[in-house]
Structure 1
Amino acid sequence: METQYFKFYSSSLNKDMECKVYGHAGRPVLFIPCQDGRFFDFENYKMADVWSPWIESGQVMVFAIDTIDKETWSDTWGNAEWRIDRYEQWISYIVYEMVPFIQNMVRERNGIYANTGIMSFGCSLGATHAANLYYRFPNLFDSMLALSGIYTAEYGFGTFMNEKVYQNSPVHYLANLPEDHYFIPMYNNNNGGRAVICVGQGAWEVPETTHQMADILRSKGIHTWVDFWGYDCAHDWDWWYKQVAYYVPWLLGQR
C-alpha cells in the first residue's frame, strides 16, 4: 500500500497540520479520527487494514487528518463562544486547504480534471464531523460513512447556542431546511445519493440522535441510508470494521 506523510502550515488554524495519504488512485475519502484523535489512528487502530482491498486496488485514496477536538468539542469547561469559533476555523482548514489539496492529488493520480467529490468518513465523534461536512457542503462531499456519531452540537457545547453552533448541529439545521432547498437534490443525486449513518444499540452506543436524524431526513425526502444494528453491536473498533466491510461496497456502487 502506497503511503505518504505531509505536514504543512494552515493559515486557517495558524499552526502546522499533519496528514497521511493511503493509496495511489481512486475516489478520495477523508478520514476524521475519533474524539481527540490523530491522523495516524487510521493506521494504528487497523482501519487501514480494513480499507486495504479498495486502497490497494486503486478504488480509493484515504486522506487521514487531525482533529482539534481538545480545543473545541472536548473542552467543555472552556469558553463556548471561543471554542465554536475555533471549530469553525478547523472547518475552514478542511474546506479551503485540505479539499483543494485532496482534489489536486486525486486529479493528478487519476488523470482527470473535473472537481472530484469526496467521501467523508468517521467513527464516534469523527462521524459527527463527517456528517456535518457532508450536509453543510454537498458541493464538496458527495458521499458519507458515519458510524456511531452524535448529531447535535449539544454534545460539545451544552445549552450554548449561537449561529455558528447552529450551523454545526445537523439535527438543528436539517430540521429547519426548507423542503424546496437546492441542497436536497444535491444530497440525493450526488454519487447516486449514497450516504450512510449507522449506529448500534449495544454497549456505549448513543442512538438517540440517529433516530432524530432518521425522522428528519425522512420528512425532508433526503435519501441517506440510516441503519440501526442490534443490541450486541457496541461502540468499538471491532464493530466499525464490520460496518466498513458491509457498507463500502455499496458506497462505491459495487452492489
Structure 2
Amino acid sequence: MKETYHKWYSQSLNREIEMLIYGHQGYPVILFPSSQGRYYEGKDFGLVQTAHWYVERGFIQIFCPDSVDALSWYNKGIHPADRVRNHVWYDQMLLHELVPSIRWNTAGGKVAVAGASFGGYHAANFAFKHPELVSHMFSMSGAFDIKMFMDGYYDDNVYFNNPVDFLPGSNHPALWQMNIVLGTSEWDICLDANKRLSHLLNQKGINHWLDIRGWKEHDWPLWQEMFPHYLSLI
C-alpha cells in the first residue's frame, strides 16, 4: 500500500500534528488510535494491513491522525476543565483542518470515521457532533461516557463531548442517514457501554448495527477481524 507521512502546524491545537495516509484515492476513512495512541498505531498493530484489498484498489483511503489524549482526557496533571478544553481544540482541528481537506474525495462531501477502544469514542463523538460530515461510523469496542475522566467536574464542554449525554437531545436529520456500527463481543470489557449506546439509538429510532461477536476479548485480533468487514459496507 502507498503510505504517506504528513505533518502540519495546527492553528486549532497551537502545535504540530502528525498523520499517516494509506492509499492514493478512494472514500476517506479517518481511523483514530486507541487510548493515548499515536498516528502509527494502526500500522504497528496490523489494523491498517487488514484493509489492504480496499486501499490498493483505490476504493478507500485511510487517514490516521495523531491523538492528544495524553494532553486531554488522560492528563491528571491539569484541571478537568483544561482536559476537556484540550479535547475541544482537537475536535476543532478535525472539523476545520483535517475533514475539509479530504471530504471532497467523495461526491457527497462526507467522510467515514472509525476507531478501536478509545478510538471508538473519538469516532462516535465526532460523528454524532457533526453528522452532516459523516456518512459511516465504525466503533470497535468503544466506550462513550467520558465523565470517568472528569473527577466529578462537569460543564458544557463535557456535555457536548459526551455522546451518551448530548445524543438524546440531538435531532440533526443526518443522524438518521448515517451508517452506524457498534462492534463489540461477549468478552469485551466495553460490551455494556455498547449496549447502552445502542439503547439510546433505538430510543431515537436511529438505525444501526450492534455487532456482538462471540468469545473474543477487547484486543487487536477482534478489531482486525471487524475492520475489513465494516469497510465492506462503504
Normalised by the size of structure 2, how large is the TM-score? 0.94
Whether 1:186 aligns to 2:174 is: yes
* Matching of residues 1-255 of structure 1 within 5 Å: 1-76=1-76, 78-103=78-103, 106=105, 114=107, 116-177=109-170, 181=171, 183=172, 185-189=173-177, 193-202=178-187, 205-230=189-214, 232-249=215-232, 251-252=233-234
Letter in 1 for 2:216: C
Partners of 2:63 and 2:229 lie apart in 1 by: 21
For 2:53, what is the secondary structure of its paired residue?
A: helix
Long gaps (5+) in structure 1: 108-113
Amino acid in the other structure paired with 2:193: T
Q: CA deviation at 1:103?
A: 2.8
Judging by fraction of residues, say which structure has more strand: 2
CA contact (8 A) 1:76 1:157 kept: no
CA distance in 2, matches of 1:215, 1:162: 25
Aligned position for 1:111: none
Aligned 8 A contact 1:73 1:155 in 2: no
Unpaired runs of 5+ residues, structure 2, are: none
Work out the CA distance in 1 between the residues paired with 2:138 and 2:194. 13
Q: Is the 8 A contact 1:33 1:39 kept in 2?
A: yes
- Assess, with a 3 A threshold, how the Cα gap between structure 1 residues 140 and 201 changes in structure 2: closer, same or farther: same
Q: TM-score, normalised by structure 1?
A: 0.87
Listed one character per residue, the Cα deviations across residues 174-204 of structure 1 (whole Å, up to 9, x for unaligned) are 1233xxx2x1x31222xxx32201112316x
The runs of at least 4 aligned residues of structure 1 exceeding 4 Å deviation read: none
1:110 matched residue in structure 2: none
Please list the CA deviations of residues 37-69 of structure 1 after superposition, one character each: whole Å capped at 9, or x if unmatched.
Answer: 111112111112101011011110001000000
| C-alpha distance in 1 between matches for 2:227 and 2:137 | 11
Q: Which amino acid aligns with 1:222?
A: I
After superposition, the CA RMSD in angstroms is 1.5
In 2, Cα distance between equivalents of 1:170 and 1:158: 18
Give the conservation status (yes or no) of the 8 Å contact 1:30–1:63.
yes
